[in-house]
Amino acid sequence: MSSPNPAQPAQLRQIPVMALSRWLREPLLHFLLLGAALFAAWNYFEPDLAPGAAATEIRLTPDDVLAMWTFFNSQWQRAPTAEEFGRMVENKVQEEVLYREAVAMGLDKDDTIVKRRMAQKLQFLAEDVAAAYEPGDAELEDWYAANADKFALPGRISFRQLYFSPDERGRQAYADAQAALATLTDQSVDTELAASFGDSFMLQNYYADRTPEQVAKEFGPVFAQAVFGAATGSWQGPVESGFGWHLVFVDSFVPGRQPAYAEVAPEVKTAWLAQQKVEAWRKAYDAMRAKYTVVLPVLPDSVDGLPAAPVASGDDQASQ
């Protein structure tokens, strides 16, 4: 592997001064700064592990001890006994001893699980940085305007349905529904005539104020589409569902609409944050990735099922 490029990521050199305040809000910068701070803190507070310190000394800090104590308390709703406390300390010591011995033996090297675990921690770290920033209302409103479709409120429908059951009528269900429709045309929904048609059904005869998703869950997506497309104020159909055939009478339809920002501000913030995390991770990774050159092997032609020369990603060149 080649050595990383020195110092700053390439982008940093090109930042105009005017953009600095915006840049200061960049999750990537926070990520890099936090990384540096963590490194410094680690060196400062972990003198035991610094080169030169006795590798065989294990020093527990008040935090370590407190953490164990608090943890026990939260788990068991009581303080540990002296014996339990001693055991916690011993466990901690054992973990530290085995960890150090393992590291000394190089067992962390080339261990897939260790590698992936650390890679995962780095991703969490990058995402955390994004979460630390508090957006202002104006910023969120702008973002909302650009992503309005994610917050559209669905339409709502109220309808009555008559069910023609294939369990009861077999293949006649459709024809029966059609015949019923002919009789019901121009009849009002409350007519007793309507009630005389159709089969009893354990789902409801009347559904009030339902979204397409709710109707689809109950009757299947095909039926939901048809009902939301049906004219209001008269019997319509036959409409097919996953259960059989129906006649529907749509009382009312409230079209979907775009809510005002204020109505959905908390949801907007949540969605914004989720996107920031994805972005923060992507940028952090891109910046780290940019430091590396990848050298891929050229495989002999004789290997079956593999391309003769692997394709390198990004700007990297396959070299020999």
- Gap between the Cα atoms of 163 and 165, Å rounded: 6
Site for other proteins in 284-303 (CB under 8 A): none
181 binds other proteins per the rule CB under 8 A: no
CA dihedral 238, 240, 246, 249 (to 10 degrees): -70
Nearest CB to other proteins, comparing residues 123 and 187: 123
Nearest CB to other proteins, comparing residues 22 and 109: 109
Nearest CB to other proteins, comparing residues 23 and 220: 220
Stretch that binds other proteins, among 4-12, 101-109, 220-228, 310-318 (CB under 8 A): 220-228
310 binds other proteins per the rule CB under 8 A: no
Stretch that binds other proteins, among 15-23, 59-67, 138-146, 296-304 (CB under 8 A): 59-67
Q: Which residue has the tokens 């995390």?
A: 277
> Please, what's the b/e burial string for 117-150 (b: 16 or more CB within 10 A of its CB; e: otherwise)?
eeeeebeebbbebbeeeebeeeebeebbeeeeee
189 binds other proteins per the rule CB under 8 A: no
Which 3 state secondary structure label does DSSP give 47? helix
Residue 258 backbone zone (phi > 0: left; psi -120 to 50: alpha; other: beta) = beta
Stretch that binds other proteins, among 11-19, 211-219, 288-296, 297-305 (CB under 8 A): 211-219
Among 158, 220, 251, 290, binds other proteins (CB under 8 A): 220
The site string for other proteins over 27-46 (x = CB under 8 A, - otherwise) reads -----------x--xx-xxx
Site for other proteins in 68-97 (CB under 8 A): 69-71, 73-79, 82, 85-86, 89-90, 92-93
Tokens coding 180: 């019923």
Site for other proteins in 234-263 (CB under 8 A): 236-237, 241-244, 253, 255-256, 259
Residue 270 CB, nearest approach to other proteins (Å): 5
Element (H, E) at 161: strand 156-164
Tokens coding 116: 């992936």
Residue 301 CB, nearest approach to other proteins (Å): 24
Query: 248 has which bridge partners?
Result: 161, 236
* Peptide bond connecting 238 to the previous residue in cis, omega within 30 degrees of 0: yes
Nearest CB to other proteins, comparing residues 5 and 263: 263
Nearest Cα neighbor of 185 from 206, 177, 254 is 177
